[in-house]
Amino acid sequence: MKRPVIAVVGSVMMDLTAYAKKIPGPGETLVGKQFTTGFGGKGANQAVMAAIAGAEVYFIGKIGNDLFGDQFLENFKARGINTKYIERTTEPSGVAHIWVDESGENRIIIIPGANHKIDSAVAANAIAEIPNLDIVIGQCEIKQEVTLAAFKAAKVRSATTILNPAPFEELSPDLIALCDWIIPNETEFAELGNLNANILLTEGDQGVRHLSSGLHVPAIKVNAIDTTGAGDSFVGAFAAKLKEGEEIAMKFGCIAAGISVTRKGAQSSYPSYEEIATFS
């Protein structure tokens, strides 16, 4: 089967993560256990997982003219992702401040920086010219107008569109109408309200549910130490495997996400193709 061609229009962040026994309360100072710097951003995470899962991936986004920007480009290249449509700006690269507690749960504050400078026309033009494009993936860490322009261009080419509405923000009816798949987690789903859309609900350690068909794939049983980027690994793996069928894609995504939570970080926690394919 031909490798699917996927364009991710989205965010790139440097994840600055503090691990501690518990998350501090208001006004409280705690001594943490570890600090890490790692590659993140929901868009970049999804692109990396889609590439691991066998897709040919193009990333459309914006990064700073700074050290993090240089590192993002090197990382994308090392992961085999096409960087032709990544632009640079004087705005600083995006960063995410992350706290992870003992149970692996996180709290995240993102500072989008360069991610909010992506130009809609540049994104739409990229989508229009990527050869043999199959799928376009978007999230909500960039301006919604950019995702809208990219999805409009995707539909002109009959490409499949997948939106991960994270972090939650109200979606315009125009954008919803352009989505073939919407993949929220339970919190985002509750905020989305009643949508007439094709929804794949990620339920954390319960697995993933396709609401219209009722198909449910359970999560693998693991000991979670850091859930950062797990949802992104599901989205990227699901997209890369979608041509092989929805159930296969859901299972592959669940295994990828399940293994990822047993390791620290976002992209640093992602398993190899072989690990996912041979998991039993």
Which residues are at the interface with ligand RIB (CB under 6 A)? 13, 15, 40-42, 45, 96, 108, 110, 141, 228-229, 231-232, 266
Nearest distance from residue 108's CB to ligand RIB, in Å? 5
Residue of closest CB approach to ligand RIB: 40
The alpha carbon of 261 is separated from its chain's Cα centroid by a whole number of angstroms, namely: 15
- Asked if residue 183 lies in contact with residue 234, where contact means CB atoms within 8 angstroms, the answer is yes
CA–CA gap between residue 270 and residue 267 (Å, rounded): 5
Q: Say whether 83 sits in a helix, a strand or coil.
A: coil
4 vs 41, which CB is nearer to ligand RIB?
A: 41
- Pick the closer one to ligand RIB by CB: 89 or 233: 233
| CB of 48 vs ligand RIB, minimal distance in Å | 10
Q: Which of 113, 22, 42, 116 is nearest to 266 (CA)?
A: 42
Task: Decide: 25 and 107 in contact? Cβ < 8 Å.
Answer: no
Place of tokens 């992870």: 100
**Nearer Cβ to ligand RIB, position 13 or 179?**
13
**To 5 degrees, how large is the angle CA 38–CA 43–CA 49?**
75
- Residue closer to ligand RIB by CB (options 5, 106) is 106
Active centre residues (catalytic): 232
- Least separation in angstroms between CB 114 and ligand RIB: 13
**Minimum distance, C-beta of residue 157 to ligand RIB, in the bound complex (Å):** 28
Residue 110 or 178: which CB sits closer to ligand RIB?
110
| Burial bucket for residue 64 (CB in 10 Å: 0-12, 13-18, 19+) | buried
Q: For strand 5-9 and strand 13-19, is the pairing parallel, antiparallel, or unpaired?
A: unpaired
d(CA 83, CA 135): 17
Q: Are 255 and 276 in contact (CB under 8 A)?
A: yes
Minimum Å distance from CB 139 to ligand RIB? Answer: 8
